[in-house]
């Protein structure tokens, strides 16, 4: 029997301080997440300087807890996987410095992980049978990408957003209707009480780029709608706004994903990232995949939003291929997918 590989994952790219121990890329022994949301809520969004400071305060405690829950010591770990981009530079630096320090002290190998590749790998945790190739829609607060996962660590981007990320649009619209930060889960909840066909918001199509997205138009349309209601002293039906906006975004996400799966001959579709926790996106994707004879995979909500188990999983597949990062690993805030 081959030896088990234990990876300690570390994630600090935005406002979650997270550490996790994962066995053989798919079995989560611990998944500790300290969410800073309560702190940033006060300001209506993530404040980078506060995020970095909080990561520094919490990182050791979160790692110790991850090791304790997994019932392992640093000596039992085979490698350390850490997010080194994309993300907030000050926040990323905390995780990267910590991982480098542990690697130096324990002489265990270090593997730098792309945050979005981590989101893709979140699907491996609960779907033991899922193997590339598949098409993955990654929808988070900072990213909207349609990616062909050709093999472990082999990615080809086929579509991306030209402006706002899907999660960013959710957060901005939520703020405009007074729901607060983070807006995605709040819109998801409120939309259940609204009429998704109540207001028609635009769906952008980009000429010559059938798999690309644009959400700034729908976001502006919602803001204009709110303004014009206010001018006319008409009361806004927030639930209808939430449901109709959500429908426009989901329509764009699902139609392009299904089209790309057909065009690229993919039989399996996965979704990942914070917005993949959206209940209506899951339902619509489920229905459309069924209608088109495609298998759909998505992580539990806890593995959709930022976590370190997905980072450890992605690091494992790099580790077994022999990828190693040096102690010169740096935080790269605008790291491109597939870039090493
Ligand atoms: O993946 P993530 O935790 O962080 C980034 O890498 O950006 O994603 C956070 C984003 C936020 O914009 C949040 O509003 C959105 O995911 N989100 C949701 C839901 N849960 C989180 N959006 C829509 N519906 C949800 N249920
Ligand atoms: Zn993320």
* Residues in the chain, overall count: 340
Residue 87: DSSP 8-state: S
Q: Where are the alpha helices (DSSP H) in 166-278?
A: 166-176, 183-191, 216-231, 238-263
For residues 176 and 103, state if they share a domain. Answer: no
For residues 10 and 86, state if they share a domain. Answer: yes
Question: 60-117 pLDDT, tens per residue?
Answer: 999 999 999 999 999 999 999 999 999 999 999 999 999 999 999 999 999 999 999 9
* Number of domains forming the structure of the chain: 2
pLDDT at 180 over 90: no
Q: What is the mean pLDDT of the chain?
A: 96
Pocket test for ligand 1, best of 14, 123, 176, 184 (most atoms within 8 A of CB): 184
In a domain, 339, yes or no: no
For residues 220 and 139, state if they share a domain. Answer: yes
For residues 66 and 106, state if they share a domain. Answer: yes
For residues 114 and 148, state if they share a domain. Answer: no
Question: 115 CA to middle of ligand 2, Å?
Answer: 6
Q: Measuring CA to CA, which residue among 148, 110, 79, 99 is closest to residue 337?
A: 148
CATH assignment at residue 176: 3.30.420.40
For residues 314 and 291, state if they share a domain. Answer: no
Question: 184 CA to middle of ligand 1, Å?
Answer: 6
Residue 304 alpha carbon, nearest atom of ligand 1:
1
Question: 292-322 pLDDT, tens per residue?
Answer: 999 999 999 999 999 999 999 999 999 999 9
For residues 72 and 20, state if they share a domain. Answer: yes
For residues 81 and 191, state if they share a domain. Answer: no
User: How many angstroms separate the CA atoms of 110 and 132, rounded?
Assistant: 24
Single pTM value for the model:
0.95
Pocket test for ligand 1, best of 169, 181, 188, 305 (most atoms within 8 A of CB): 305
For residues 80 and 40, state if they share a domain. Answer: yes
Label residues 56-81 b or e (16+ Cβ within 10 Å = b).
Answer: bebbeebbeebbebbebeeeebbbbb
**Helix, strand and coil percent figures for the chain, each rounded to 5:** 45, 20, 35
For residues 115 and 200, state if they share a domain. Answer: no
pLDDT band for 273, please (50, 70, 90 cuts): very high
Supply the angle between the helices 309-320 and 115-126 in degrees, to the nearest 10: 100
In a domain, 15, yes or no: yes
Quote the pLDDT of residue 1.
62
SS3 32: strand
Structural domain for 138, as ranges? 132-299
For residues 180 and 294, state if they share a domain. Answer: yes
Residue 170 alpha carbon, nearest atom of ligand 1:
14
In a domain, 112, yes or no: yes
The residue with tokens 């030209």 is 162
For residues 277 and 148, state if they share a domain. Answer: yes
Give me the residues paired with residue 34 across strands: 17
In a domain, 47, yes or no: yes
In a domain, 326, yes or no: no
In a domain, 337, yes or no: no
Pocket test for ligand 1, best of 141, 143, 180 (most atoms within 8 A of CB): 141
Looking at ligand 1, which residue's alpha carbon is closest to its atom 3?
305
In a domain, 330, yes or no: no
pLDDT at 340 over 60: no
Sign of CA dihedral 34, 37, 42, 43: positive
Q: Which two tokens stand for residue 71?
A: 């019932």
In a domain, 56, yes or no: yes
């Amino acid at each position: 029997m081959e030896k088990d590989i234990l990876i300690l994952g570390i994630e600090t790219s935005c406002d979650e301080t997270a550490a996790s121990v994962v066995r053989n890329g798919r079995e989560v022994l611990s998944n500790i997440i300290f969410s800073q949301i309560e702190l940033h809520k006060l300001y209506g969004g993530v404040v980078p300087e506060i995020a970095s400071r909080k990561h520094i305060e919490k990182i050791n405690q979160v790692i110790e807890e991850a090791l304790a829950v997994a019932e392992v010591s640093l000596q039992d770990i085979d490698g350390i996987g850490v997010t080194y981009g994309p993300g907030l530079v000050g926040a990323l630096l905390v995780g990267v410095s910590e991982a480098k320090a542990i690697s130096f002290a324990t002489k265990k190998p270090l593997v730098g992980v792309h945050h979005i590749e981590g989101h893709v790998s979140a699907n491996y945790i609960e779907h033991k049978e899922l193997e590339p190739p598949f098409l993955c829609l990654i929808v988070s607060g900072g990213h909207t990408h349609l990616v062909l996962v050709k093999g472990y660590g082999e990615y080809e981007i086929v579509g991306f957003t030209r402006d706002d990320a899907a999660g960013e649009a959710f957060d901005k619209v939520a703020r405009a209707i007074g729901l607060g930060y983070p807006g995605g889960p709040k819109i998801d909840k409120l939309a259940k009480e609204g009429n998704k066909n109540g207001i028609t918001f635009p769906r952008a199509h980009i000429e010559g780029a059938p798999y690309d997205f644009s959400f700034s138009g729908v976001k502006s349309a919602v803001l204009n709608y709110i303004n014009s209601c206010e001018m006319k002293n008409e009361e806004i039906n927030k639930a209808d706004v939430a449901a109709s906006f959500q429908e426009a975004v989901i329509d764009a996400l699902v139609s392009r994903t299904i089209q790309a799966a057909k065009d690229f001959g993919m039989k399996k579709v996965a979704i990942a990232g914070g917005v993949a926790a959206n209940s209506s996106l899951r339902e619509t994707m489920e229905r459309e995949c069924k209608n088109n004879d495609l298998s759909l995979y998505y992580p539990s909500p806890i593995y959709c939003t930022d976590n370190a188990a997905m980072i450890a999983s992605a690091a494992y597949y790099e580790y077994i291929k022999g990828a190693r990062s040096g102690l010169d690993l740096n935080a790269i805030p605008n790291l491109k997918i597939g870039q090493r």
